[in-house]
Amino acid sequence: MIGVMPVKLDHAVEEKILLVKAVYEVLEEEARNYPFVCQAGCADCCTVNLQATSAEARYFLKGLSPEEKKALHARLKPLRTETRLRPRVTPNEMAALYMAGKEPPEEGEFVFKTCPFLGEDRLCTIYERRPFGCRSVFSLKPCRELGTAEVPPEFFSLITVLMQLLEEIDLAGLYGNFLDLLLFLLEAEGRSPEEIVVPEELLSNREVPDFALPPDHEEYVRGVLARLYRRQVTPEKTFKALLDEIKEGAQVKEALSFLGEAL
């Protein structure tokens, strides 16, 4: 990790989930404006390398009963030591490094292994609560034909910005491989903060230093962000108002200052 920031796993969990869902909804609304060809059964992108925030992992776990959580833990525990992509910096740390004229460290190893949540029918078994990393994979042509996804450049910029925003939503939370996050959160349930040790493969989230946007994409992306910020997420609060409240309550300014000096 580049910087060390305070981790408060129980800070504004329900409020963060509301904001996470709003980001998902706005992305899906924008995706309808493009002729993407993705359909059920297209699953080449469904691997164990999925990255997410702890708020997204909390959103997924929120839908499970205690018995389902126990079964999930038993299913994921044997995968703990298996190789998969584990990030060395968060999206916002990477943006801060580039802004400082520094190269980020090389990413970990990408593994071509199927996601454990993909069913035998090549359909996602957690589709309704899948993380942003899954939701943001779109292509104008079948990936199998191209060997990669073909994404409109401005839409890719939007995805990048929303990833940065998801990290900021989860201030005082964590970023890492989705499977590692699930294992950590499942094992942290019922423990006091003093008993919880964050594993080194999970990184501390930080604020957006600035959005990484090509100049010709700014108008489009900022328009989508403006619509997201004005979105009512509770009867009393907009997305932006609730985000500001969460950030204020996280009280991570001192750590962020330290991180800035360390870059």
Secondary structure of the chain in HEC code, one letter for each residue: CCCCCCCCCCCCHHHHHHHHHHHHHHHHHHHCCCCCCCCCCCCCCCECCCEEEHHHHHHHHHCCCHHHHHHHHHHHHHHCCCCCCCCCCCHHHHHHHHHCCCCCCCCCCCCCCECCCECCCCCECCHHHCCHHHHCCCCCCCHHHHCCCCCCHHHHHHHHHHHHHHHHHCCCCEEEEHHHHHHHHHHHCCCCHHHCCCCCCCEECCCCCCCCCCHHHHHHHHHHHHHHHCCECCCCCEHHHHHHHHHHHHCCHHHHHHHHHHC
Domain membership flag for residue 30 = yes
Does the global pTM surpass 0.85? yes
Domain membership flag for residue 5 = no
- What is the number of residues in the chain? 263
Domain membership flag for residue 191 = yes
What tokens appear for 50 in the block?
């999925």
Domain membership flag for residue 8 = no
Domain membership flag for residue 140 = yes
Number of compact structural domains in the chain: 1
Domain with 35 in it:
13-262
Check residue 253 and give its pLDDT: 54
- Reading phi first (left if > 0) and then psi (alpha if -120 to 50, else beta), residue 213 is in beta
Domain membership flag for residue 116 = yes
Are 181 and 132 in contact, with CB atoms under 8 Å apart? no
pLDDT tens digits, one per residue of 200-230: 999 999 999 988 789 999 999 999 999 999 9
Check residue 179 and give its pLDDT: 98
Domain membership flag for residue 95 = yes
Residues (pLDDT < 70) of the chain are 1-6, 252-263
pLDDT tens digits, one per residue of 231-249: 999 999 999 999 999 999 8
Domain membership flag for residue 73 = yes
